[in-house]
């Protein structure tokens, strides 16, 4: 543990000084986060008046001290009812997202009151250090929230309960307890409230102080198991800890009788039950209740001069609501101290005031320790067998760590009014057990002595024996026609940025790899021979087998067991063969970490003692998905190299150690959990910078990779705590691999509800998992193939009609086809060449893309086929390749009206304010269609109908739909009542004069068609169009036009100056 100092949060204070917050200038704001869920006892309905009560007391207190400031609060309500895990079990409750939102909108005040959930608090104070805010939490009981610089907790945290239990277990100097307790059963049921969940979690976890103290600790999870324990004579402990209320004891025991020596410790701190001198039930006679010392509400409230109504006094009988009022009063106390200094106040200044302080709470004085946690008086109560009432047994002051006996001669149910020992003792039976145990120990010592002597003689022989190589002829090639070489990055110490060449072969009918040890002739030194002899003795299924060395040419190779699936780093990088969802789940990740821990535990207990180069590239996976460690025991042959797996103490001074291996294991575990790059951090990606920051000790908090808490399971939380303990800066605080192996074994067995699992069980389950993954992989590849095929077909259907694509795929040819009657649409942009002259090529492309994408969206609503676009020309046809009767003329006409309506509201992105007009021509008649040529196939139309439709467009007028007589005849045969005007006789090149029409709309349908420009001023405005473009270029913003959104003008048809309307010439085909 580390102590809080005033400079520990300089960085966060600098951040606060530079940001704008509602903290100062005569107004100080508290940001209150509220969890509004029905399953949580404190909601916005009763919390808001509680906060207002505290604000009233603080403001009155400041006013009495002549401080003209005001303290306010903002309320942010979060409801988790939309999540599958509700209340504080949801890791999304409250948390970082709210604070980021408040920071974005500059609504942050001086402190944040909340969150109450340990998961959310852990993310805010540990896993998101950027948001280093002063937090006051009425909750956050978990061990993960201990010792956080910017966190203050107003309710009893888990560690305070653990400290008391350890003190009570060790205490053998009490009038009613003369034995030291070292064993316990922990009854943990599933449906418990927030505080009990974390109190029990600390007793369940294997890395806490209380679990380290206990010589025996077992978790009871079902009432049936509990009922069996309390009556068994061979139980391992008489003491059972649980958390809840007396009703929970009654439900758990049912009607079962309890052995006379059983002692229950019931933790009930916040159920608002008044125990002392209240009646007790018979099933509570074996129970000691751990609760908070009682408070006299009437006398306590007299300390506050504010008169409160009955409803507010009723609220204060809820311990959680009292915590919220005390939190506001703590802020007021700190504000008074800071203002008395007559200095500017920033949010970070409150941190020192929340440590080692005493302030007046709503119910009396409150004390905060050096870590910002509340100190309380615990009370142990028992049931008097005489008057059947709860009586106080002792008090425990967490501030002074002092026990005060309240009843020296309690009226216990236990014999002699004394608490029984924590383990059973039965006289002669103990003597017989002792004799049997002593005999077994003597026999076991003799057997061990013989085994040790035999092993010592064998080791001595190997030590004295001269090292010899495997004959080269015993290394056989694999059964292939070519040399088998693979490039595996097993060790990076030998060459920089170069993977070693490892040759495959066969030795003793096993596939092996040859790893180069020496690059020249020469014998091994005596130290190297001893190391190699030690490697020969190692035979463990989580370590690769070393067979010896062999000399080939001028090289000496190590002969090592080959694992087919490559390194663990390769497996983690392969998200296709080993996906997260079906294969690399939490269970498999834990089993991988368990394999490495077992291998390292064995290695550390062997003569090799230390690895020195543990990394994910030196962990290999065999065909049975068992992880094995390789490249160990070669410290005298291969020099170590500084990398991201190296412990900070070895980065500074070299050397290797077992604790350094534990640090390397923590880095590998982070790779396994996240499946990202080695030493992944979101804010630093440069490897050299990472090495420098790890090696340097200048930072306030040691630089470590990211490990975000994304799940809520207790096993996952234990894994996170274990991994973080592995990369502690102080090597002595890191666990050894025996403890890591034990912890992972317990977590792994909990997945299957069993305490022991054989190697074959694990192997069979992994193979079953892998076979299921293969099925999933085949299914995924099939889906990917089908999706890719569908994407290709969709792309083809966008280029060519569906029947044409089908014909090309089946035969490679498309037969040309004659269509008796189709309708063809042509349009182009008026003044396109002039616009191009004053625009960059990219602006022209963007302009056409904006226009034609919208045209394409309009086409989706009509039975038409887009033929092509050439420059600003847009060609569409209906009636082919699918014949649709007379509907082709209707669809083309409807589409033309939609396009013209859209152009009335379109504005150029790079030339705002400049009108964009199009000419549209439509004609109906016979047409031939087909694909011409082989390369770049295109579906082309041929015939006089195409030429005539083009002439209809070129002889049309801006913002007009020019329609031929043949199209009008078809429209008359339909039920649609199109509106049109006769234009008169129009000369069409190659055809002569013909009667043509203007299409103006459809009866009973509204189209926002722009008014076409007048004809009178067409000669004057042809030259003005270029000037209009120049004016628009001068008025547009100097920034990048592409970043501006495309705005739509209301219309050019009404209220627009005549000067802004471009007229046509006597030759309408001329482009302006």
Does 530 score more than 70 pLDDT? yes
From first CA to last CA, the distance across the chain in angstroms is: 82
**Token pair listed for 738:** 């025996």
Q: According to the 3-state scheme, what is the secondary structure of 896-940? A: HHHHHHHHCCCCCCCCCCCCCCEEEEEEEEEEEEEECCCCCCCEE
Distances from the Cα of 45 to the Cα of 16, 80, 95, 320, angstroms: 32, 16, 21, 14
Least confident of 72-81, 136-145, 477-486, 1058-1067: 1058-1067
Mean pLDDT of 314-323: 80
For residue 1050, the model assigns a pLDDT of: 32
Angle between helix 658-674 and 737-750 (nearest 10): 30
Topology classification of domain 21-133+301-374: Rossmann fold (3.40.50)
Beta strands in 484-544 (DSSP E): 485-487, 501-507, 510-518
**Token pair listed for 726:** 């592995």
Least confident of 185-199, 484-498, 584-598, 781-795: 484-498
Taking residue 422's Cβ as centre, other Cβ atoms within 10 Å add up to 21
Closest CA to 282 of 250, 322, 318: 250
118: left (phi over 0), alpha (psi -120 to 50) or beta: alpha
Residue spans per domain, the chain: 21-133+301-374, 158-293+377-417, 469-480+499-562, 567-754, 800-1013
* Helix or strand holding residue 75 (H, E): strand 70-78
Q: φ, ψ for residue 817 (rounded to 5)?
A: -135, 140
CB 583 within 8 A of CB 502: no
Does 896 score more than 90 pLDDT? yes
d(CA 391, CA 412): 10
C-alpha 28: how far from its chain's center? 34
3-class secondary-structure state, position 246: helix
**Before 553, cis peptide (omega within 30)?**
no
For residue 1068, the model assigns a pLDDT of: 36
Does 754 score more than 60 pLDDT? no
Does 696 score more than 60 pLDDT? yes
Mean pLDDT of 1030-1049: 51
Closest CA to 722 of 703, 750, 748, 744: 744
How does pLDDT run across 94-143, given as a tens digit for each residue?
A: 556 677 777 777 778 889 887 777 777 777 776 555 456 788 988 888 88
d(CA 462, CA 468): 11
Beta bridge partner(s), residue 999: 980
Bridge-based pairing state of the strands 263-267 and 287-292: parallel
For residue 468, the model assigns a pLDDT of: 56
DSSP 997-1050: EEEEEETT----PPPPPPSTTHHHHHHHHHHHHHHHHHHS-SS-GGGSPPP--S
Greater model confidence, 77 or 383: 383
Closest CA to 999 of 974, 967, 1023: 967
For residue 311, the model assigns a pLDDT of: 54
d(CA 134, CA 113): 9
Mean pLDDT of 795-807: 76
**Token pair listed for 115:** 């969150």
> Which one is the CATH code of 800-1013: 3.40.47.10, 3.30.1050.10, 3.30.70.1230, 3.20.20.120?
3.30.70.1230
User: pLDDT-derived band of residue 297, with 50, 70 and 90 as boundaries?
Assistant: low
For residue 15, the model assigns a pLDDT of: 41
CA torsion angle for 906, 911, 914, 920 (degrees, to 10)?
A: -50
Share of the chain above pLDDT 90, in %: 25
**Token pair listed for 995:** 């009667």
Greater model confidence, 405 or 1004: 405
For residue 5, the model assigns a pLDDT of: 33
d(CA 62, CA 835): 71
Residue with the two structure tokens 């408070």: 295
- Classify domain 469-480+499-562 by CATH number: 3.30.200.20
Topology classification of domain 158-293+377-417: Rossmann fold (3.40.50)
User: pLDDT-derived band of residue 486, with 50, 70 and 90 as boundaries?
Assistant: very low
Closest CA to 148 of 132, 164, 163: 132
Does 459 score more than 70 pLDDT? no
CB 285 within 8 A of CB 253: no
Mean pLDDT of 930-941: 81
For residue 358, the model assigns a pLDDT of: 93
Mean pLDDT of 57-86: 78
Distances from the Cα of 501 to the Cα of 486, 495, 557, 629, angstroms: 7, 11, 11, 19
d(CA 1028, CA 908): 13
User: According to the per-residue pLDDT averaged within each range, which of 295-309, 452-466, 709-723 is highest?
Assistant: 709-723
Distances from the Cα of 763 to the Cα of 66, 579, 592, 738, 769, angstroms: 75, 19, 12, 22, 10
Rg, Å, the chain Cα set = 41
Taking residue 809's Cβ as centre, other Cβ atoms within 10 Å add up to 10
Least confident of 192-196, 418-422, 559-563, 817-821: 192-196
* Helix or strand holding residue 450 (H, E): helix 428-464
User: pLDDT-derived band of residue 257, with 50, 70 and 90 as boundaries?
Assistant: confident
> Which one is the CATH code of 567-754: 1.20.950.20, 3.40.50.10490, 1.10.510.10, 3.40.718.10?
1.10.510.10
Q: φ, ψ for residue 31 (rounded to 5)?
A: -85, 110
Does 1071 score more than 80 pLDDT? no
For residue 21, the model assigns a pLDDT of: 62
Q: Indicate if 158-293+377-417 has the same CATH topology as 21-133+301-374.
A: yes
**Token pair listed for 702:** 């040691």
d(CA 600, CA 595): 9
Greater model confidence, 1046 or 598: 598
How does pLDDT run across 950-961, given as a tens digit for each residue?
A: 999 988 888 889
Q: φ, ψ for residue 438 (rounded to 5)?
A: -60, -45
d(CA 997, CA 921): 10
**Token pair listed for 457:** 């003689």
Does 263 score more than 90 pLDDT? yes
Closest CA to 1027 of 899, 928, 868, 913: 913
Q: According to the 3-state scheme, what is the secondary structure of 283-345? A: HHCCEEEEEECCCCHHHHHCCCCCCCCHHHHHHCCCHHHHHHHHHHHHHHHHHHHHHHCCCCC
Does 1049 score more than 80 pLDDT? no
CB 358 within 8 A of CB 365: yes
d(CA 879, CA 23): 72
d(CA 95, CA 35): 11
User: pLDDT-derived band of residue 709, with 50, 70 and 90 as boundaries?
Assistant: low
How does pLDDT run across 573-613, given as a tens digit for each residue?
A: 888 777 776 667 788 888 899 999 999 999 999 888 899 89
- This prediction's pTM: 0.46
For residue 725, the model assigns a pLDDT of: 93
Beta bridge partner(s), residue 487: 501
d(CA 1019, CA 206): 92
N residues, the chain: 1072
Q: φ, ψ for residue 516 (rounded to 5)?
A: -75, 130
Does 522 score more than 70 pLDDT? no
Average pLDDT of the chain is 80
Does 240 score more than 90 pLDDT? yes
User: According to the per-residue pLDDT averaged within each range, which of 39-53, 234-248, 829-843, 1030-1044 is highest?
Assistant: 234-248
Beta bridge partner(s), residue 994: 986
d(CA 377, CA 205): 25
How does pLDDT run across 815-867, given as a tens digit for each residue?
A: 888 899 999 999 998 888 888 888 888 888 888 888 889 998 999 889 999 98
User: pLDDT-derived band of residue 700, with 50, 70 and 90 as boundaries?
Assistant: confident
For residue 108, the model assigns a pLDDT of: 81
Output the CA angle 945-948-953, nearest 5 degrees.
Answer: 130
CB 929 within 8 A of CB 1031: no
Beta bridge partner(s), residue 486: 502
Q: φ, ψ for residue 379 (rounded to 5)?
A: -130, 130
Taking residue 110's Cβ as centre, other Cβ atoms within 10 Å add up to 27
CA torsion angle for 617, 623, 627, 631 (degrees, to 10)?
A: -50
951: left (phi over 0), alpha (psi -120 to 50) or beta: alpha
Does 1027 score more than 80 pLDDT? no
């Amino acid at each position: 543990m580390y102590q809080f100092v005033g400079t520990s949060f300089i960085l966060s204070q600098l951040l606060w000084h530079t940001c704008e917050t509602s903290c100062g200038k005569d107004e100080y704001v508290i940001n209150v986060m509220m969890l509004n869920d029905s399953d949580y006892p404190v909601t916005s309905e009763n919390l808001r008046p509680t906060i207002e009560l505290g604000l009233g007391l603080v403001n009155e207190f400041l006013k009495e001290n002549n401080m003209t400031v005001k303290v306010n609060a903002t309320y942010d309500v979060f409801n988790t009812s939309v999540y599958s895990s509700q209340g504080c079990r949801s890791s999304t409750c409250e948390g970082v997202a709210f604070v980021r939102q408040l920071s974005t909108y500059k609504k942050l005040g001086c402190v944040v009151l909340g969150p109450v959930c340990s998961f959310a608090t852990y993310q805010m104070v540990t896993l998101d250090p950027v948001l280093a805010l002063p937090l006051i939490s009425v909750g956050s009981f978990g061990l993960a929230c201990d010792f956080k610089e910017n966190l203050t907790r107003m309710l009893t945290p888990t560690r305070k309960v653990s400290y008391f239990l350890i003190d009570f277990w060790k205490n053998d100097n009490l009038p009613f307890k003369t034995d030291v307790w070292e064993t316990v059963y922990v009854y943990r049921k599933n449906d418990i409230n927030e505080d009990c969940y974390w109190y029990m979690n600390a007793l369940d976890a294997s890395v806490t102080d209380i679990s380290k103290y206990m010589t025996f600790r077992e978790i009871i999870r079902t009432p049936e198991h509990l009922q069996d324990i309390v009556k068994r004579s061979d139980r391992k402990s008489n003491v059972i800890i649980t958390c809840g209320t007396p009703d929970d004891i009654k439900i758990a025991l049912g009607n079962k009788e309890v052995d006379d020596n059983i002692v229950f410790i019931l933790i009930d701190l916040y159920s608002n039950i008044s125990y002392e001198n209240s009646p007790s039930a018979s099933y509570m006679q074996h129970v000691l209740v751990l609760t908070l010392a009682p408070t006299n509400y009437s006398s306590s409230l007299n300390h506050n001069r504010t008169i409160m109504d009955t409803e507010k006094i009723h609220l204060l009988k809820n311990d959680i609501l009292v915590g919220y009022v005390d939190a506001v009063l703590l802020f007021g106390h700190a504000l008074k101290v800071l203002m008395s200094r007559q200095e500017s106040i920033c949010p970070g200044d409150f941190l020192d005031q929340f440590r080692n302080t005493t302030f007046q709470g709503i119910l009396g004085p409150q004390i905060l320790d050096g870590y910002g946690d509340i100190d309380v008086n615990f009370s142990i109560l028992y049931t008097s067998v005489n008057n059947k009432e709860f009586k106080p047994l002792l008090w425990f002051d967490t501030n002074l760590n002092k026990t005060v006996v309240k009843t020296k001669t309690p009226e216990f149910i236990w014999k002699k009014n004394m608490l029984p020992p924590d383990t059973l003792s039965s006289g002669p039976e103990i003597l017989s057990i002792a004799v049997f145990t002593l005999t077994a120990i003597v026999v076991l010592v003799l057997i061990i002595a013989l085994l040790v002597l035999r092993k010592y003689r064998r080791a001595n022989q190997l030590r004295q024996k001269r090292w010899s190589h495997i004959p080269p002829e015993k290394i056989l090639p694999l059964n292939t026609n070519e040399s088998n070489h693979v490039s595996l990055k097993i060790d990076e110490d030998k060459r920089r940025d170069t993977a070693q060449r490892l040759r495959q072969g066969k030795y003793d009918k096993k596939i092996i790899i040859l790893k180069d040890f020496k690059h020249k002739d020469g014998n091994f030194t005596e130290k190297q021979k001893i190391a190699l002899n030690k490697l020969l003795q190692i035979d463990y299924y989580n370590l690769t087998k070393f067979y010896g060395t062999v000399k080939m040419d001028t090289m000496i190779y190590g002969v090592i067991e080959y694992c087919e699936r490559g390194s663990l780093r390769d497996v983690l990088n392969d998200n296709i063969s080993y996906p997260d969802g079906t294969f690399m789940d939490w269970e498999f990740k834990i089993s991988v970490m368990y394999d490495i821990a077992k291998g390292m535990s064995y290695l550390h207990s062997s003569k090799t003692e230390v690895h020195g180069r543990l990394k994910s590239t030196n962990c290999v996976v065999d065909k049975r998905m068992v992880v094995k460690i390789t490249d160990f025991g070669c410290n005298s042959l291969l020099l170590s190299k500084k990398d991201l797996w190296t412990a900070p103490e070895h980065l500074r001074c070299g050397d290797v150690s077992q604790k350094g291996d534990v640090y390397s294991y923590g880095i590998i575990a982070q790779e396994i959990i996240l499946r990202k790059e080695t030493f992944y951090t979101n804010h630093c990606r440069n490897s050299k910078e990472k090495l420098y920051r790890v090696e340097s000790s200048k930072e306030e908090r040691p630089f470590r990779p990211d490990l975000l808490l994304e799940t809520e399971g207790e096993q996952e939380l234990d894994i996170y705590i274990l991994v973080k303990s592995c990369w502690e800066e102080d090597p002595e605080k890191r666990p050894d691999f025996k403890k890591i192996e034990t912890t992972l074994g317990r977590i792994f067995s909990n997945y299957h509800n069993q305490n022991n699992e054989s190697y074959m069980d694990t192997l069979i389950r992994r193979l079953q998992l892998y076979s299921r993954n293969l099925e999933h992989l085949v299914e995924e590849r099939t889906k990917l193939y089908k999706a890719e095929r569908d994407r290709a077909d969709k792309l083809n259907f966008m280029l060519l009609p569906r029947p044409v694509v089908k014909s090309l795929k089946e035969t490679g040819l498309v037969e040309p086809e004659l269509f008796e009657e189709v309708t063809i649409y042509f349009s182009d942009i008026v003044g396109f060449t002039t616009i191009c002259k004053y625009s960059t090529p990219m602006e022209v492309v963007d302009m056409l893309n904006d226009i034609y994408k919208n045209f394409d969206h309009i086409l989706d609503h009509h039975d038409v086929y887009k033929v092509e676009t050439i420059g600003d020309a847009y060609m569409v046809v209906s009636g082919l390749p699918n014949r649709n009767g007379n509907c082709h003329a209707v669809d083309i006409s409807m589409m033309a009206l939609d396009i013209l309506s859209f152009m009335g509201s379109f504005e150029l992105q790079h030339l705002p304010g400049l009108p964009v007009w199009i000419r549209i021509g439509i004609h109906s008649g016979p047409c031939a269609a087909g694909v011409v040529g082989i390369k770049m196939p295109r579906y082309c139309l041929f015939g006089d109908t195409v030429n005539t439709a083009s002439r209809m467009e070129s002889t049309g007028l801006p913002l007009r739909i020019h329609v031929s007589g043949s199209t009008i005849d078809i429209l008359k045969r339909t039920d649609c009542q199109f509106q049109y005007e006769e234009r008169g006789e129009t000369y069409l090149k190659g055809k002569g004069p013909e009667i043509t029409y203007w299409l103006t709309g459809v009866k009973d349908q509204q189209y926002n068609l722009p008014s076409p420009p007048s004809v009178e001023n067409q000669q004057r405005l042809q030259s003005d169009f270029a000037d209009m473009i120049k004016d628009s270029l001068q008025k547009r913003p100097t920034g990048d036009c592409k970043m501006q959104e495309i705005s739509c003008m209301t219309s050019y048809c009404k209220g627009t100056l005549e000067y802004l309307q471009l007229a046509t010439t006597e030759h309408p085909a001329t482009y302006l």
